[in-house]
Amino acid sequence: MGYKNRYVKVPDGHFWIEGDHHGHSLDSNSFGPVSLGLIHARASHIIWPPHRWQRIRPYLPADRAPLLSLGDSSTDGQDE
């Protein structure tokens, strides 16, 4: 949301990482895609505050869905 480009192609071997507090997180919105080799761990649970104690499940808001690549056969406009 705060990255310099509206759409970003994340290269193979990289991740797009976002913090939980937009505007106050040092994440891919600040630095861009992060190399897989720099990843050492993964968040699995929320433990603070206690009333939010839960396992983190993958979630992607509908308005943040990945774009299909230009070479995707389902979007190339050719009938089979």
15, containing H or E segment: strand 14-15
List the Cα angle 9/28/50 in 5-degree steps. Answer: 130
Contact 5, 15 (CB under 8 A): no
Give the per-residue pLDDT at 2: 60
Residuewise pLDDT in 10s, the chain (80 residues): 566 777 888 899 998 888 877 777 888 888 889 999 998 888 899 898 899 999 988 877 777 777 766 555 554 444 44
Contacts of residue 12, defined as CB under 8 A and 6 or more positions apart, other chains included, come to: none
